[in-house]
Structure 1
Amino acid sequence: MIKAGIIGGSGYTGGELIRILLHHPEVEIDFVYSTTRAGKKVSTAHPDLLGTTNMEFTGDVNLNVDVVFLCLGHGNSSKFLKGNAFSKNTKIIDLSNDFRLQKDAVFEGKKFVYGLPELNKSKIKDAKYIANPGCFATTIQLGLLPLAQAGLLGQDVHINAVTGSTGAGVSPSETSHFSWRNNNVSWYKPFTHQHLGEINESLHSLQKDAGKLFFLPNRGNFTRGILSTSYTKFDGSREEAIQQYKDFYSDAAFTHLASAPIHLKQVVNTNQCHIHVHKHDDILLITSATDNLLKGASGQAVQNMNLMFGFNEKEGLNLKAGVF
């Protein structure tokens, strides 16, 4: 078994990691670090773990664990690593956006690999440091990468996606508290969302002349999950597009093409991404759905860990959705 540490374990992504790793047959959680809850039981922040673990948060860090997950706010992972020199044998998986872009991928001699398994599986297997993709970025990229590989994204792509309130983090804000969010829908950061940078880098790595992305993110009145719809001009048939997706994801552990239109409940509480392709006149519509806390964050982080340590890629992640 390997020993794992979690930095920032009191938030949503930290809670998901704890839940997964407690039941992972190849992993022992060595510590869960929190500056605000040190000495308190993990179940005080994650009450669903009451009766599952008596583990306590700690203010101490074991710098010699086999793997450490950084579940910190954006901009804080680099600060933490500057103050904490982990062993050269410790593998690091960062869930913030600090190292996702190529210009940020090298940090104090550490080369971070972009951790989208459907795109970089071979690189992830050999990596010591992983930059876990963003939740919107994961969902949208998985919907578009097969077209980019085939050189079919030469036209502009319009994207509309809606995310649950957990995407905003555990700290309450004006647009995440119940009274505002419930029975409400709104857009935010139109055409400027921070995940566009990593999406564009991935698409352009497969198709240099990929078209411009027009991304409109929305806040939904539900807690978790992302449903994304992307559409662009497409000269081929729906059958040709479907074959492209089947070929691209032929060995994907968690990304699957659906024959019927998809909905969010199919993937919530799983590490799955489900995709559906629809053709209308000369427009191709691609719908993709994930759980923002699992495939969009902690589940994908564990998937990357499995690849890095040579475990079965699905280990600890055979989670099933409850549709009703």
Structure 2
Amino acid sequence: MKKLEIGIIGGAGYTAGELIRLLLQHPKTNINFIYSTSNAGNKIYKVHQDLIGDTEISFTSEINSEVDLLFLCLGHGNSTSFLANNTFSKKTKIIDLSNDFRLVADKNFEGKEFVYGLPETQREAIQKANYIANPGCFATALQLAILPLAANKLLSNDIHINAVTGATGAGTSLSNTTHFTWRDNNFSHYKAFTHQHLGEIYQTVNQLQSDFDSEINFVPNRGNFSRGIFATVYTHYNGTIEDAKKSYKNFYKEAAFTVVSDEEVHLKQVVNTNKCLIHLMKHDNKLLITSSIDNLLKGASGQAVQNMNLMYGFEETEGLQLKATYF
């Protein structure tokens, strides 16, 4: 079988590095080019040093408009301007990892209709799509925590979320809160109740439960570790814990990477994998849902490859059977 010819736009960041790593090992793909104006001519492994010995590909400032599939790994707000200024062939499909096309109001752009790429709810639409808006990292972890409740019309009160992400969630550009001396042995919250991923979460919840009109109270935190998201979510729930487990396991029975665990979960189980692990606990009239993912894989590049597999009829797990860095 002829391999897919892949183009990557914006190849220097963390998500691009993980995407390159996955695609180099994927049996159905060939990386045709990796576009980066700031690194043009440099070997990929000069930037992504973990790839030394794996590839001799260099960054380029030239674009092949005839590739089969284009991944956009650009900063938020930059995908629209890039697509406005660059034309690709009619056969070229696109997976965008920014937030430019995730909301319904933004999904149509210059004749392209982007499908929201959360496989657990959108598998059939993804399989038919030419353009995918890859979900955000927090949005992925939090939606997977609450969507079974929405699907069963069981959200009847406010949702409270506390979640922590690793330093890679802030990207490669240095800022006051990403320097080692600030991050090490430190902990802080940011964008409390206003995080940009809330729009995606409300959107999908309302699609499954149209009468949901309560608040989603989300407090994101910065952790002093490199990667991963660990979220605790609670809301009012009248059923038994057995009912909750049954509905969650039924909702995810066909999911390739989302697992409902009977045991409590922790971050080391998911780092370096495309899994989302979920655990449920009932306390009085509150249901506590724990959700954990790798922010760079299930929260970004791994999910993008999962979407690629669905779009082209590959096995959904192709190239994504990864072992957690447990020890």
Structure-2 residue corresponding to 1:134: 136
Matched, 1:314 2:317: yes
Aligned partner (choices 191, 216, 219) of residue 216 of structure 1 = 219
Alignment of 1:30-179 (within 5 A): 30-179=32-181
Shift of 1:35: 1.1
Structure-1 residue corresponding to 2:257: 254
Opposite residue 253 of structure 1, the aligned amino acid is A
Q: Structure 1, residues 155-196: CA drift from partner, whole Å, max 9, x if none?
A: 100000000010000111110111100110000001000000
- Cα distance between partner residues in 1 of 2:192 and 2:53: 43
- Cα distance between partner residues in 1 of 2:16 and 2:326: 25
Q: Structure 1, residues 102-147: CA drift from partner, whole Å, max 9, x if none?
A: 0000001100000000010000000000000000000000000000
- Cα distance between partner residues in 2 of 1:162 and 1:3: 36
Structure-1 residue corresponding to 2:199: 197
- Cα distance between partner residues in 2 of 1:63 and 1:198: 30
Shift of 1:208: 1.1
- Cα distance between partner residues in 1 of 2:325 and 2:219: 28
TM-score (norm 1): 0.99
Opposite residue 178 of structure 2, the aligned amino acid is S
- Cα distance between partner residues in 1 of 2:215 and 2:207: 14
- Cα distance between partner residues in 2 of 1:177 and 1:6: 28
Aligned partner (choices 19, 27, 31) of residue 17 of structure 1 = 19
SS, match of residue 98 in structure 1? coil
Shift of 1:67: 0.2
Alignment check: 8 A CA contact 1:154 1:209 kept? no
- Cα distance between partner residues in 1 of 2:90 and 2:179: 42
Structure-2 residue corresponding to 1:278: 281
Structure 2: which 5+ runs fail to align?
none
Matched, 1:293 2:296: yes
- Cα distance between partner residues in 2 of 1:53 and 1:231: 45
- Cα distance between partner residues in 1 of 2:148 and 2:82: 36
- Cα distance between partner residues in 1 of 2:174 and 2:271: 22
- Cα distance between partner residues in 1 of 2:57 and 2:219: 41
- Cα distance between partner residues in 2 of 1:300 and 1:257: 18
SS, match of residue 223 in structure 1? coil
SS, match of residue 316 in structure 1? coil
Structure 1: which 5+ runs fail to align?
none
Shift of 1:212: 1.3
How high is the sequence identity, in percent, across the aligned residues?
A: 62
SS, match of residue 323 in structure 1? coil
Alignment of 1:176-187 (within 5 A): 176-187=178-189
Shift of 1:154: 1.6
Q: Structure 1, residues 81-105: CA drift from partner, whole Å, max 9, x if none?
A: 0111111110000000000000000
- Cα distance between partner residues in 1 of 2:85 and 2:46: 27
Aligned partner (choices 216, 228, 231) of residue 234 of structure 2 = 231
Aligned partner (choices 311, 321, 326) of residue 323 of structure 1 = 326
219-228 vs 204-213, which deviates more?
204-213
SS, match of residue 125 in structure 2? helix
SS, match of residue 18 in structure 1? helix
Segments of 4+ in structure 1 off by > 6 A? Answer: none
What's the C-alpha RMSD, in Å, of the aligned pairs? 0.5
Opposite residue 228 of structure 2, the aligned amino acid is G
